[in-house]
Structure formats: structure tokens, C-alpha cells
Amino acid sequence: MNQEVRLCEVGPRDGLQMAKGMMPAADKLRWIRQLADAGLREIEVGSFVSPRLVPQMADTGAILPEVLKMDGLTVCALACNLKGAIAAHEAGAHVLSFPVSVSDTHSRANVGKGTDAQLEVLASIVDWAQSQARPMRIDAAVATAFGCSMEGAVPVRRVAQVAAAAARAGADEIALADTVGYAYPSQVRDAVRATQDAVGERLAKLHLHDTMGLGLANALAGLDEGIRGFDACLGGLGGCPFAPGASGNIVTEDLVFMLESMGYRTGVDLPRLLAARALLASALPRESLRSGVAAAGIPRTFRA
């Protein structure tokens, strides 16, 4: 069994996009450096979206070239259309995260297009990226894969269909995203199995939220089905501005504690990761940071 688990810290993007207040660019860079120094090798540093709609991401183009100077770091950025994808590539992003919602209603609220139209945009981005001299990995984030606060239940069959369409469009990797945090473990199991049947190993990770308090349980269900990649956010911040009821991501600190305790290798130094909370707390004093490990302290029984 593969004991390596790849973590992507999404705090600088998903964690900040709904934050109360703006984190200064200098603090973002210091925080990303601390995350990288703690051993996180993949970080989503921001998004190339309308600064009018998501002002917290307006400085992504300025900070991304600075982040690229950090050795050994895979730098990810999100974009919702071809214009944003081109901007991400020109700024030097190694990975583009592209959202495709299973819920047509959420897709229209989030990106202004229905699901099928967004899949066509994904295909155009892949075609453009493949014509460039520098490669850029294209990840399709299959959003609202476990339920939608506007449409309600999302059929597993439809999740697999959208994932398969994203694979046909040329996505290098696919993630199933619990955008509003409604998932529960048996649902995660069923969706992962159906998607694996549809796209095989291209299903690389889960993006989980903790709205109902089941985030780590859902991660464990994914692990049991062979998933070895997860998005997470320091302090459990985050949410989608265009999905009513969406709340924070699974907590990176607690996920690392669980994985390392179980014998999985994340490459993350837990004490150094916890130390990175201080800058986040001081830069965003109106935000409440979560974490059982941070509240209780690392137990003496813990062995990385």
C-alpha cells in the first residue's frame, strides 16, 4: 500500500477568499514561506479571478513570481476561464486548478456558465496550454460532488459523468470537491469508487470541507479507497463565496496529525506547521482559527 500522501495547502487561496479583512501581500509571502518551510511541497497561492468579485485575490499576479523563488515548491493557482488560465501561465504557475461544478446552478453562480459550457472552456484551456513551450498541469476540481446548497442531492452517477467529461477534455488530474461540506463517509466511498471506474488513476485527490464536522472522517473514507492526495487549509479557514452555507476546509494541522499517527508520510513537520498559525492569526484578527491539535497541543504519544 502506498504510504505517501500528497497534501496541497489551499489556505492562501481558499482560506483567504472569504476572510474578514485583507491579508497584506508581504504577510502572504511570509506565511507561504512558513508553510513551505514546514514541509508542504504544494501550495495554492491564489486565483486569477475578478478582483471586483474576490478582492482578497487581487494581488495573486504580484505574489506568484515571488513564491516561485522558493525551492522545491509546486505553485498552484485557480482560474475559471481561459483569460485567467493564460494569466496564471504567464505568471509562472506550475499547476492550474479549474472548477467544474456538478451542480449546474452552482456552476452558473460560481463561473457564469452551466456545467457543460464550463467543460468546453476546460477543453479550450487544455488545447491552449498544450501549445505553449512551458508545460502547466491542468487539474479539474469537480465541485459540489457531494451535494449542493442550491440544488440539494447530487447523484453519484452524474459526478462520475462530469469527471469522465473532464478527463476527455484533457485534465491531467481530477479532484472531487465537497464544496459545501455535506459529505459523509459512505457517500465519499461510493463517489470515489464510481469516479475511479470512470477515470481510473486520474482521480488524484479530495477537496473536503468540515461544515458538518465530518471532514476527517471523509478523508479517512477516501484513504480506504486509495486516495493519496488531499487539499487542506491551516486553521480550517475557507469557503466558497458563491455557495451559500459553505464553511471552512479540513484543518491541515489535524489532517497531518491523523495521517502521520496512522503511519502515512506527509513530509510535514507538525510543530513548524503549528508555528505558522501565529502569523495568520495576527494578520487576520477577525478570523477564528480551528484545530484540535493546536488547542490541545501535540500529545507525547505522537510519533511522526
Instruction: Provide the pairing of β-strand 6-9 with 229-232.
Output: parallel
- Separation CA 129–CA 135 (nearest Å): 7
| DSSP assignment of 94-161 | SEEEEEEESSHHHHHHHHSS-HHHHHHHHHHHHHHHHTSSS--EEEEEEETTT-BTTTB---HHHHHH
| pTM for this prediction | 0.96
What distance, in Å, lies between the first and last C-alpha atoms of the chain?
18
- Rounded average pLDDT per 10-residue block, the chain, 304 residues: 91 93 95 98 97 94 97 97 98 98 95 97 98 98 96 97 98 97 97 98 97 97 98 92 79 98 97 98 95 97 93
- Residues with a known catalytic role: 240
**Domains, the chain, with CATH or none:** 6-296 (3.20.20.70)
Compute the radius of gyration of the chain from its Cα atoms: 18
Taking a C-beta distance cutoff of 8 angstroms, is the pair 66, 30 a contact? no
> Grid coordinates representing 56?
482578497
Distance of CA 216 to the CA centre of its chain: 15
C-alpha dihedral sign at 201, 47, 103, 151: positive
Q: How far apart are CA 156 and CA 136, in angstroms?
A: 30
Q: What is the pLDDT of residue 245?
A: 73
**pLDDT at residue number 277:** 98
C-alpha cell at 254: 489535524
CB 159 within 8 A of CB 188: no
**Whether the Cβ atoms of residue 136 and residue 95 lie closer than 8 Å to each other:** yes
CB 68 within 8 A of CB 111: no
Asked whether the beta carbons of 57 and 51 are under 8 A apart, the reply is: yes
Exposure on the CB side of residue 257, measured as CA atoms within 13 A? 23
Nearest alpha-carbon partner for 35 in 262, 290, 201, 256: 256
Q: Do 92 and 64 contact (CB within 8 A), yes or no? A: yes
- Which is it for strands 229-232 and 95-101: parallel, antiparallel or unpaired? unpaired
Q: Is the dihedral of CA 75, 230, 238, 182 positive or negative?
A: positive
